[in-house]
Amino acid sequence: MRVVAATNHNLEGMVKEGHFREDLFWRLNVVQVAVSPLRKRKDDIIPLASYFLEKYASKHGKKITGFSREAMEMLLSYHFPGNVRELENIVERAVILSEEDLITSDDLPISVKNGQDGEPMPDSFQELTLPEAVALLEKKRIEKALEEANGVKLRAASLLGISERVLRYKIDKYGLDVDCQDI
């Protein structure tokens, strides 16, 4: 028997903190493969979306041949917090809803049209109150800094010009689900 397991958690850190069984970790950790999140592998979006389109068009008996240019641009600019599974779900939903031979922007969920997690994009800042706009900008800037720092909180805090303690507070405040390191 062979077990293939995936996680977005730092299991080694969880073992050290006592939140994951050490014996299980060593049984599972025979070959470790680190895969970057989809948002860092934009070149994979088109082939994956095409594969999922073919899979779900066949499954649901639809004759859908591809994506409109606008729909593909939206997918390419989306952040994909849910990674490849989210892309798969988005494509299946679009196949089910589509009444055309192409997936259009109308078939995509509002979160893809508006940006990550359905939040308004910076163009709609004018419609927000000042505290809402500041919070949205701050959250997006923290996410970008963490991405640039490869999840290292100390480096991200330095990029932002704040202390690591303040960064940890803001990560909790905005409920950011990030795989960070304290190094």
**What was the pLDDT predicted at 118?**
45
Q: 106-137 pLDDT, tens per residue?
A: 999 888 887 644 444 555 556 677 787 788 88
Domain membership of residue 183 (yes or no) is no
Total of domains in the chain: 3
Q: In terms of residue numbers, what domain contains 163?
A: 122-173
Encode pLDDT of 140-168 as tens digits.
889 888 888 888 899 999 989 999 999 99
Structure-token match 């997936």, residue found? 103
> In this structure, are 95 and 131 located in the same domain?
no
- Do 69 and 106 sit in the same domain of this protein? yes
Q: Are residues 72 and 109 in the same domain?
A: yes
Does 80 map to a domain?
A: yes
- First and final C-alpha spacing in the chain: 37
Query: What integer best gives the mean pLDDT of the chain?
Result: 85
Say if residue 131 is in the same domain as residue 165.
Answer: yes
Question: Domain for residue 180, yes or no?
Answer: no
Q: What is the pLDDT of residue 82?
A: 84
109 and 53 both lie in a single domain:
yes
Q: Do 70 and 89 fall within a single domain? A: yes
Instruction: Specify if 179 maps to a domain.
Output: no
Band of the pLDDT at 104, cuts 50, 70, 90? very high
Q: Is the pLDDT of residue 35 over 90?
A: no
Q: pLDDT exceeding 90 applies to what percent of the chain? A: 44
In this predicted model, what pLDDT tens digit does every residue of 1-29 receive, in sequence order?
A: 788 887 878 888 899 999 999 999 998 88
Q: Are residues 44 and 108 in the same domain?
A: yes
| Contact call for residues 113 and 74 (beta carbons, < 8 A) | yes
89 and 25 housed in the same domain: no
Residue carrying the six token digits 């397991």: 5
Same domain, 49 and 70: yes
* 127 and 143 part of one domain: yes
Q: Which of 116, 135, 160 is the last residue of a domain?
A: 116
Domain assignment present for residue 56? The answer is yes
| Residue position matching structure tokens 């970790």 | 25
On whether both 109 and 166 belong to a single domain, the answer is: no
